[in-house]
Structure 1
């Protein structure tokens, strides 16, 4: 029945249906919370997830191989190739930063030696 008896209208069939729906949804929610919070449910969910992961591995490998072949035939880089290129560019950037720092040290040393010899 309605949670607020002051607004209950026996001639409103949709109101009664909504109350019945709400009551059944509450009952189902309580039952499902009890079921989901069991060790058996956790074990069953884990087993299903493991089975899905095992069975999806070959499919994923096939999709990756197909994508690599497609990209190669279109002369486009694969994800691995882009990742390797990004790593190489990062390495180059680090080396350039190191060289810039060393050049600054050399320039600073040259300036200080010129200042000392000029005085």
Structure 2
């Protein structure tokens, strides 16, 4: 127990000692876990588990993706790939319209009279 707990020990607080024991246990567990996580063995084990998970999840993810694409096709809904392609095409159209707008502004600027005194 900590030095503060012995100085402020209250015999009428039955949970005070339990809290001190809990805190000491938590500090011990925290130190032990930090030491365990900072080892090469832990990082190797974690790496091996992640590699195994990636290898096993790849085929499942592909099967899920194919099933989703088939379901969307059956419901006449676009897939993610189709929406991405459409967004690219719309961006291209928007850029072309901006270019046409700029050229039209240039043409209108050339057609305007150069001085306001020519009208009157």
Shorter chain as denominator, the TM-score bin is 0.7 to 0.9
Structure 1 stretch displaced more, 43-52 or 89-98: 43-52
Q: Is 2:77 aligned against 1:76?
A: yes
Shift of 1:38: 1.3
Q: Deviations over 1:65-106 (max 9, x none)?
A: 111111111111111111111110001001110111111111
3-state SS of 1:4 partner: helix
Is 2:5–2:20's contact at 8 Å kept on the other side of the alignment?
Answer: no
Q: For the residues of structure 2 that align with 1:110 and 1:43, how far apart are their CA atoms? A: 74
Cα deviations across residues 22-68 of structure 1 (Å, max 9, x unaligned)? 11111011011011111221121111111111110111111111111
Using structure 1 for the length normalisation, give the TM-score: 0.86
Structure 2 CA distance, aligned partners of 1:4 and 1:13?
A: 13
Q: TM-score, normalised by structure 2?
A: 0.85
What pairs up with 1:10-21 in 2 under 5 angstroms?
10=11, 12-21=13-22
State the number of aligned residues: 116
Q: C-alpha separation between the residues in 1 aligned to 2:24 and 2:57?
A: 40
